[in-house]
Amino acid sequence: MRAPRLADVAARAGVSEATVSRVLNAKPGVSESTRTAVLAAVDLLGYDRPPKLRRASVGLVGLVVPELTNPVFPAYVQAMEDELTRRDYTPILCTQTPGGVEEDDYVQMLGERGVSGMIFVSGLHADSTTGTERYERLRERSLPIVCVNGYREGIDAPFVSDDDIGAMTQSIEHLVGLGHRRIGLATGPLRFVPAWRKLTGFRQAMAQRAGEGDVDELVAETLFTVEGGAEAADVLLQRGCTAVVCASDLMALGAVAASRARGLRVPDDVSVVGYDDSLLMGFTDPPLTTVRQDVPGIAHAAVAALLDEIHGHPAARAELVFRSEFVVRGSTAPPGSTARRG
């Protein structure tokens, strides 16, 4: 153990060495704010807290996510870990790998570890082609679970989701307001609940805002990846779209690359809208107009619902939906901006 040096901690916390000593020895006579400042200084300086000041974990909670290559999933993990550790729970991160460890494997492992509960983010519950038996078995063991992004009937659990349908309305309203009418949707596999919800919202918004009732040829189904976004954009640009709405930020980056490969400029010739507002999307070239999921709000609600379940206070068996925020940056503009400027 690397013991704290009183002088270093005192300087960092702005208190006397005597005060630091009282805090580290758990002596009375120190205000809570001062105690917090001293312990924060200990942590920031990389020292180990004395054993008596280490917080004991109440229990383990499994966080099951599909992957970490999409930046939105690490954002969810970080937010949920923060919520759990503040409540003295220890999170266990379980990331699925293609052709390797899968959700069911992690569920079995977490059960063997004696976790207090599990949170599934965009898990198999969001895949409409899979059964719900795995979740039913967990509930038969009275293990609390919460599902994030992807509501399914028949699963005995609270659900917390982003408003995919409303987000499409925001995207289409923005683009129609700029003058676009031929707008395409690049989406991931439609077997996933968030993907077909985005398609539903896209269809509704195109009919109501753009006057386009038949939009099937304006939809390209692919993967939630950069390569998938590029492939979808190629198809949609061939079909005359002047704007592309993407189901993820990674897809949007692919759409920008595909547009440039055709000699088109973003946003002068093609407008591109992303989804998630992942880390660094404000610093891409051009900065990406996108839909921002309320990751902190969803994470807080998911953890709160799980802890209610753990403490014997069942949360509502319904879906709590969080409205997203539309963030306008530099990847969208009126159609034909280059020609007008020239």
For residue 21, what are the domain limits?
Answer: 6-53
CB 80 within 8 A of CB 148: no
The CA–CA distances, whole Å, from 142 to 135, 138, 139, 318 equal: 11, 7, 5, 18
Mean pLDDT of 19-27: 91
Residues 318 and 331 in one domain: no
**Banded pLDDT at 56 (limits 50, 70, 90):** low
The verdict on residue 201 lying in a domain is yes
Is residue 4's pLDDT more than 80?
A: no
Query: What is the distance between the alpha carbons of residues 273 and 275, in angstroms, rounded to a whole number?
Result: 7
The verdict on residue 109 lying in a domain is yes
pLDDT tens per residue across span 248-271:
999 999 999 999 999 999 999 999
Residues 189 and 254 in one domain: yes
**What tokens were used for 98?**
């293609």
Residues 89 and 200 in one domain: no
Mean pLDDT of 226-239: 98
Residues 287 and 300 in one domain: no
Residues 97 and 135 in one domain: yes
The verdict on residue 15 lying in a domain is yes
The verdict on residue 130 lying in a domain is yes
What is the number of domains present in the chain?
Answer: 3
Query: What is the distance between the alpha carbons of residues 185 and 178, in angstroms, rounded to a whole number?
Result: 17
Residues 306 and 248 in one domain: no
The verdict on residue 236 lying in a domain is yes
Which of left, alpha, beta for 179 (phi over 0: left; psi -120 to 50: alpha)?
left
Helical H segments across 206-294, by residue range: 226-238, 249-261
| pTM of this structure | 0.84
Domain harbouring 21, CATH code: 1.10.260.40
With pLDDT > 70 as the criterion, what percentage of the chain qualifies? 96
Residues 76 and 35 in one domain: no
Query: What is the distance between the alpha carbons of residues 26 and 19, in angstroms, rounded to a whole number?
Result: 11
Residues 41 and 65 in one domain: no
The verdict on residue 1 lying in a domain is no
Query: What is the distance between the alpha carbons of residues 6 and 128, in angstroms, rounded to a whole number?
Result: 58
Residues 225 and 109 in one domain: no
Residues 111 and 191 in one domain: no
Sequence-distant (≥ 6) Cβ neighbours of residue 72 within 8 angstroms: 248, 249, 276, 278, 293, 295
The verdict on residue 148 lying in a domain is yes
Domain harbouring 310, CATH code: 3.40.50.2300
SS3 for 275-310 is EECCCCHHHCCCCCEEEECCHHHHHHHHHHHHHHHH
Residues 79 and 14 in one domain: no
